Amino acid sequence: PPSGSGAAIRRLDERTIQQIAAGEVVERPASIVKELVENALDADASRIAVAVTGGGTERIRVRDDGVGIPPNQLPEAVAEHATSKIGDIDDLESGVGTLGFRGEALYTIGAVSRLTIRSRPRPEAYGDSKEDPSDGDPSVGVDADSGAEITVEGGEVEEVRPAGCPVGTTVEVEDVFYNTPAREKFLKTDATEFDHVNRVLTQYALANPDVAVSLEHDGRETFATEGNGDLESAVLAVYGRDVATSMRQVEWRPTENETKAGSESGAIDEETNAPGADDGDPVRRVHGLVSHPETTRASREYLSTFVNGRYVRSSTLRNAVVDAYGGQLSADRYPFAVLFVEVPAETVDVNVHPRKTEIRFDAEAAVRDAVETAVERALLDHGLVRSGAPRG
Ligand code: ADP
Ligand code: MG
């Protein structure tokens, strides 16, 4: 192998560049699942079915009922830096409403696997006129009424073929990392890889209770949420009955500093712009579910926090939740939480590295206080923590 010093400086070839870039986005099967599920959510799916084999190292399949991709757009979907989500940097600065926007996920997944995308667009994507979905492109020659598919194998893009399928998109990834032996060595056992897949998908299922999310491993169902919009029902599906029945509702808004939280906060009229609820508030709402102090685990992993709908791993938020229990927890035990924090979009940074789930708040202390207060009050309302009770 070439030595680090003295060797001539050479441009890397396209293939090598592609593989290095792929390693950045596609670390392990769970990172592929994350990208594909985000695409399905961005495509307005109401059902997302994930099936993996061999912990995801053999095969990953994500099926959605979203808007779909027109046949002539399939080659674009797998092209480098190609996205339908932003047009220029201004779009990015004015705030992206989608989970993805870099246009590199499908491209990089295609570089490290055998990738097949089968899709059929929703009819309304073409408006009322029954337009030719191939856009007159004769090379496509397929009918969007039935669907089409494209395959990328180790970076080689094949031609679009007709393929009968329901409305929506199915992405299949096989032999992940088969052509990057160096990365294959870093993969852990199938059980460990599946554990990562399960954790990732659990967060999306909890963050999107209005979407029916299901996971299957080696043909066996791991969980399936109803997609009925009810957070408790999603918690029941992923964590089981014992945890679900121990969960208590959290609902906090800045205006509730004066008035005690009513039964249902549908009374708050967005139009009236009540004092204290305007854009100046660093935190607009904290809501979700937290567990009874006796329903705990020895890991912080079940403290799920979402900022503006996006899962974040934040020690600030997790500590705020734990502190709210004020000594009610046993040593090294942590509660379950599914907590949504809503803050003004411009006060958090979304332009983070694709793999990162950390976050930085402009008003960190205010966010922390709001979360602690919200959880504290919820526990208090349920008579679980006595105000001013001695700690320990
Ligand atoms: P990004 O999500 O950053 O735009 P991707 O490489 O993940 O980049 O996807 C490229 C494009 O392919 C997307 O912008 C979108 O137009 C299309 N696409 C990908 N997955 C789906 C899907 N499940 N349903 C509909 N369109 C999709
Ligand atoms: Mg994407």
| pLDDT tens figures, 200-234 | 999 999 999 999 999 999 999 999 999 999 999 99
Average pLDDT over residues 1-21: 76
Q: Which residues pair with 143 in a beta bridge?
A: none
| pLDDT per residue as tens digits for the range 72-126 | 999 999 988 778 877 777 776 666 677 877 778 899 899 888 999 999 999 875 5
Percent of the chain whose pLDDT exceeds 70: 78
d(CA 154, CA 178): 9
Nearest CA to 83 out of 106, 67, 63, 61 is that of 106
Average pLDDT over residues 180-186: 60
For residues 289 and 302, the answer to whether their CB atoms sit within 8 Å is: no
The CB-side HSE value for 179 (13 A sphere, CA atoms) comes to 20
Average pLDDT over residues 260-279: 44
d(CA 250, CA 371): 10
d(CA 178, CA 226): 35
pLDDT score of 97:
73
For residues 385 and 392, the answer to whether their CB atoms sit within 8 Å is: no
Question: Over 80: is that where the pLDDT of 392 sits?
Answer: no
Helix boundaries (H) for 216-361? 231-239, 241-246, 315-324
Nearest-CA residue for ligand 1 atom 13 is 83
Q: Which residues pair with 326 in a beta bridge?
A: none
Average pLDDT over residues 340-351: 84
pLDDT score of 273:
43
Name every residue whose Cβ is closer than 8 Å to that of residue 263 and which is 6 or more positions away in sequence.
none
Separation of 103 CA from ligand 1 center, angstroms?
7
Separation of 216 CA from ligand 1 center, angstroms?
23
Question: Over 90: is that where the pLDDT of 317 sits?
Answer: yes
d(CA 216, CA 222): 5
Look up the pTM and report it. 0.84
CA 287 to chain centroid, in Å, comes to 18
Bridging pattern class, strands 285-291 and 247-252: antiparallel
Supply angle C-alpha 35, 211, 150, rounded to 5: 40
Higher local confidence (pLDDT), 41 or 93: 41
- The DSSP string of 197-221 is HHHHHHHHHHH-TTSEEEEEETTEE
Q: Which residues surround ligand 2, an ion (CB under 5 A)?
A: 39, 100, 105
Separation of 246 CA from ligand 2 center, angstroms?
35
Angle between helices 190-207 and 231-239 (to 10 degrees): 170
Confidence of residue 27 (pLDDT cuts 50, 70, 90): confident
pLDDT score of 192:
92
Fill in the amino acid letter for 153. E
Q: What's 348's DSSP letter?
A: B
Separation of 182 CA from ligand 1 center, angstroms?
28
Separation of 346 CA from ligand 1 center, angstroms?
25
d(CA 348, CA 11): 38
| pLDDT per residue as tens digits for the range 227-268 | 999 999 999 999 999 999 999 999 999 975 544 444 344 444
Tokens of 127: 């408006």
Nearest-CA residue for ligand 1 atom 14 is 83
Tokens of 369: 């206080």
pLDDT score of 143:
55
Question: Over 70: is that where the pLDDT of 137 sits?
Answer: no
Nearest CA to 106 out of 41, 24, 22 is that of 22
What is the rounded average pLDDT for all residues in the chain?
Answer: 83
Q: Which residues line ligand 1 (CB under 6 A)?
A: 35, 39-40, 43, 64, 66-69, 77, 82-85, 100-107, 169
φ, ψ for residue 246, nearest 5 deg: -90, -5
From the CA of 169, the nearest ligand is 1
Higher local confidence (pLDDT), 289 or 144: 289
Tokens 């890991």 -> residue: 299
Question: Over 90: is that where the pLDDT of 179 sits?
Answer: no
Fill in the amino acid letter for 238. V
d(CA 69, CA 301): 35
pLDDT score of 387:
53
For residues 57 and 177, the answer to whether their CB atoms sit within 8 Å is: yes
Separation of 13 CA from ligand 2 center, angstroms?
25
pLDDT score of 46:
98
Average pLDDT over residues 123-147: 55
d(CA 101, CA 84): 8
Nearest-CA residue for ligand 1 atom 23 is 40
Supply angle C-alpha 159, 163, 165, rounded to 5: 140
Torsion angle, alpha carbons of 323, 325, 331, 337, to 10: -90
Choosing from 106, 115, 353 the residue with most ligand 1 atoms within 8 A of its CB, the one to mutate for a pocket test is: 106
Tokens 């192998």 -> residue: 1
Nearest-CA residue for ligand 1 atom 8 is 103
Radius of gyration over every alpha carbon of the chain, rounded to an integer in angstroms: 23
Choosing from 24, 25, 39 the residue with most ligand 1 atoms within 8 A of its CB, the one to mutate for a pocket test is: 39
pLDDT score of 135:
52
